[in-house]
Amino acid sequence: MKTHRTNLKTWTSRWALACGLLLSLSLFASANDRVAVRPGAGQPVSRHNFGSTLPLNNHEVLPTTSPVSVPNYNNELFNQSPYQQQVPFNFNQQPVSPAPSHSEPSIDDELSYRYTDPRMLNFLRSTSINQLTSLYMEMSQLIDQRHVNPIAYEQRTERALASLARAIQNPTFLQAVRANGNSAGVQQVQAELSGLASRQPARSAQEALGVMQYAASVLNRSLGVPMEATALEFINGTIDSLDKYSSFVPAATAQAPSAGLEERIVGIGVELKAHDQGMHIVGVIEGGPAEAAKLQRGDIIIAINNQQLAGMSLNQAADMITGPEGTSVNLTVSRNGSTGNVTLPRRSVYVSSVTGVKMLDQTRKVGYVRLKQFSESSTKDLDAALWKLYQDGMQTLVFDLRGNPGGLLTQAISISDKFISNGSIVSTKGRNAEDNTHEVATFDRTWKIPMVVLIDENSASASEIFAAAIQENGRGVIVGRRSYGKGTVQTHFPLRTASGDLKLTTAKFYSPQGREMAGAGVTPDVNVPAATAGLEFAAEQDGDIIAAIRLADDGRPADLANRAGSTPNRQGVKNFSL
């Protein structure tokens, strides 16, 4: 029985759990769970000794393993989770408005991200050319059988060779593989690779494998690049040719960051993004060591164990913070122009995807919940939050999905089912019958609370499934900015030739009314300009929250909630702006 895991999560504000360090990669919207680092921006700092704790202002290597048995890839796709019965769906693919413009990473970006990822580097150090040969053939078979729109081998090979041509002049790649890229040799090899693509167009996996092996020989002979490094990059380049979400995901060891949706992790409990001075803390996990030491959002980690972080990648910093439970790490932290040192223990931290549970307005009885991603524990944690707010007198719910990059499809369906009493939730369509599903609301104890859903340009995938289900079933009002428009489902296929997964785009998903979500996203009912709203604003200054409270006042969410049980499709709600 295979153990596929299906998720819907984009590179936009993607969360890679790195032993307690959540890596927030937020500047490009792209492939889910690909390891990446994005530079940030910051200000110079001056020094001041905070002492052992910082005072508050108010303000994802492969060990050598035996091959596992070949999974049966033709079994039911979603066997991991308790799904409702899935039936085929006839798609009415309506025209969509133009896709939002998203910057895409270049080949050089991809290379730099890959070869600062501890998982990829450790896999490279432990693999062999024979293993990579087997891995390429296994992945090719999976792509041919399950990818939603596989391209020809000739195109895959051209992209793989282009990746290699860039790799041999990419400093990060050359440093990682311990090779020297002298300019004359590089130009000669690049010409050879370019000619190879035209001289030997691959028309099968076996022919493409021959190209990979020949390229590995050329790079090794001419530039000293290990054959394993060439083969691995050829594989990665091949997968990159498919779409921006498919990727090879090496398994993580206890010492390497993993891109997952775990409930409990070992670490210090912070969420980071890259900054020109180091690492910027964008969130502190409740109950973690960082919270106990009074670290807070906005702090900048400028050194780890006295090693400066300026110019370092997010993956490299994560690797430095990662360590066994019970050990400690020393951080130099900047806050408001001053710096200090703090030593934190690495310990088990519960990571809840549900945060910020509070009453926004006691007079109007408006409650607030933010869902940061759709993880294993989201349904359970959301239940607890909703009951707490209900006991506090909540009469309208503001459900914040801003910056939520997605997550598990099962959770998107389960949480949608909590608020929709009947009607369609989402449909998926791929090349195989097991990828075609139609999910409908069945939960008989639905929350009928009036609700406003907040979205932005970084709300993607599972977030868009939920928002579209609420909107097109007439269940609530959507506020904010147009969502990302990911619209595809990725399935994790465990590999038999290596310890890791092939994450492959296997289907597209469609809204309750049959609208294709890829490239379109969800358009809010109430558009709020980005300049006046967002997670960086305090609640009382956040235009999205201000709009949500106004809506609670004028009764629109309540009207929709009252009609939703008997009106499965949206009626009478017009788009408008504040």
Give the Cα separation of 63 and 198 in Å (integer): 38
For residue 103, give both structure tokens: 């910057």
Assess whether 461 carries a catalytic annotation. Answer: yes
For residue 350, give both structure tokens: 């519960």
Half-sphere exposure of 225 (CA within 13 A, CB side): 33
Residues 6+ apart with CB under 8 A from 82: 410
Assess whether 448 carries a catalytic annotation. Answer: no
Assess whether 376 carries a catalytic annotation. Answer: no
SS3 97: coil
C-alpha to C-alpha distances, 542 to 317, 479, 518, 522, 536, nearest whole angstrom: 32, 12, 29, 20, 8
Q: Per the residue annotation, which of 140, 313, 461, 499 is the catalytic one?
A: 461
Give the Cα separation of 167 and 514 in Å (integer): 42
Q: Per the residue annotation, which of 163, 472, 508, 516 is the catalytic one?
A: 472
Give the Cα separation of 339 and 229 in Å (integer): 41
Task: Judge whether 419 and 476 are in contact, CB under 8 Å.
Answer: yes
Q: What is the DSSP string of 516-533?
A: B-TTT----SEE--GGG-
Q: What pairs with residue 509 in β-bridges? A: 428
Give the Cα separation of 522 and 466 in Å (integer): 10
Q: Per the residue annotation, which of 486, 503, 508, 516 is the catalytic one?
A: 486
Which is it for strands 264-267 and 247-250: parallel, antiparallel or unpaired? unpaired
Q: Mind telling me the catalytic residues?
A: 461, 472, 486
